[in-house]
């Protein structure tokens, strides 16, 4: 299997397979565990982290708070492209690629 790229992350969560999501998560430039956290904390932390990354770097937030899957991408839309993956267990990963 080739190394996953940003293009492997798709808009619809069920289109990203678990193996690719795990590889991208492990290779991310920064990872944030936001499980148990509610808005606006995840948005604030994403903004801070994205500002410290270089263009093309990848930040991944893990969350179990469904509103974060919409609110975090909106909060950083000027700074990063965002895609979301959903596990079968209620865990979400928000992939943010800095512009």
Both tokens of residue 3?
């190394």
How far is residue 3's CA from residue 51's CA, in Å, rounded to a whole number? 26
Q: pLDDT tens-digit profile of 35-93?
A: 999 999 999 999 999 999 999 999 999 999 999 999 999 999 999 998 888 888 889 99
How far is residue 15's CA from residue 33's CA, in Å, rounded to a whole number? 23
Q: Is the pLDDT of residue 4 over 80?
A: no
CATH superfamily of 6-98: TusA-like domain (3.30.110.40)
Q: At residue 43, what are phi and psi to the nearest 5 degrees?
A: -65, -45
pTM comes to 0.82
How far is residue 8's CA from residue 91's CA, in Å, rounded to a whole number? 19
Q: Is the pLDDT of residue 16 over 70?
A: no
Q: Is the pLDDT of residue 13 over 50?
A: no
């Amino acid at each position: 299997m080739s190394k996953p790229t940003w293009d492997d992350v798709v808009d619809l969560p069920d289109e990203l397979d678990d193996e690719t999501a795990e590889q991208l998560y492990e290779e991310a430039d920064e990872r944030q565990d936001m499980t148990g956290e509610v808005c606006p904390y995840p948005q604030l932390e994403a903004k801070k982290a994205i500002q410290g990354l270089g263009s093309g770097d990848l930040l991944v937030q893990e969350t179990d708070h469904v509103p974060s899957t919409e609110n975090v991408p909106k909060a950083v839309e000027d700074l990063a492209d965002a895609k979301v993956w959903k596990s079968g267990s209620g865990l979400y990963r928000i992939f943010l690629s800095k512009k």
